[in-house]
Amino acid sequence: MTSRFLSWLSLSLLTVALAAIVLPMVYAIAYSPKVAPTHMFYSPVKQDFVFREHRGHHDFTYATASGETFDRRAFETSLPFIYYKNMDIWGLLPVEIGGQSFDLETIRDARQVFELKSREVEDRHPSVPVYALLNSDPDKAGLSFPEDVFRMMADRMEFVNVDVNRVDPELTERFTAALTAEGFAFPARLVAGKQTILKPSTKGSSLLMPVGRRSMSNGWTTVR
């Protein structure tokens, strides 16, 4: 009798748990309204994060992280570098931020917009802690991946040659010595840098130690 109860219990648990996963998915496929992703920006005007959330059926909420809500126009004027064309049409340019004035030409020529997806936040996505130390070669345009990759060990920056999958003691020693000489405290807390060659140039990788930061470039072993 106990075994039948145990069996019934496990089947019931499985049924309920699977239904709890599958049914909301089916419901979402069948009934969810069309929604756009929520976008969060840093507003240099409000000195706070502002976001736009789509609730379906063209119903948007514009708000700050602290809970203040406002209309679309106020949202756009809080982000003058993104909505600068509307700002211009509304006669709100030049805009003054932090004691500096920005007109249409300045914004158009100098603005840069970076997007950070939630999955790109450190520790929010899996990654293998082996990195390429990219280097801008002054003699040629574009970037290429080096044959040596590095990993941060407890007491050193260790290089592995990818062609033979073996540690390169000479490079390891050279880079570890350069870092140590500049006061880098092992182990590294974070290695940051865009691991791609689809960019015009690089300033190397940032290595975060328990306190502070050093940046390195391949080739010159430059520590900044």
Partner 1 sequence: MRAIAYKEWLKLRSWLGFILAAHLLFSAWLYLSIRHQFRIEHAEMIYYQANHIGRIFYEDLRYVPLLTGALIGAVQFLPELIRGRLRLSLHLPTGIVPLVFAHLGVGLAALLVFLAFDLAALAITIGTFFPAAFIASALLTAAPWVLAGIAAYLGAALTLLEPDRRYQAANLAISAGVVWLCHRSGQYQAYDLVLIGAAAFVLLLAPASLQAAHRFRNGGV
| Residue 27 or 90 having the CB closest to partner 1 | 27
| Contact yes or no for 150/133 (Cβ under 8 A) | yes
CB of 22 to partner 1, least distance (A): 7
* Site of tokens 């019931």: 12
In angstroms, give the least distance from the CB of 8 to partner 1: 6
In whole angstroms, the minimum distance from the beta carbon of 218 to partner 1 comes to: 12
Q: Which is nearer to partner 1, 18 or 185 (CB)?
A: 18
Task: Compare residues 17 and 185 and give the one whose CB is closer to partner 1.
Answer: 17
Pick 96 or 147: Cβ nearer partner 1: 147
- Minimum CB–partner distance for residue 219 and partner 1 (Å): 15
Tell me the CA distances in angstroms from 136 to 163, 220, 224, one per residue in order: 21, 10, 15
Q: Which residues bind partner 1 (CB under 8 A)?
A: 3-4, 6-11, 13-15, 17-18, 21-22, 126-130, 132, 145-147, 149, 151, 160, 162-163, 165, 195-196
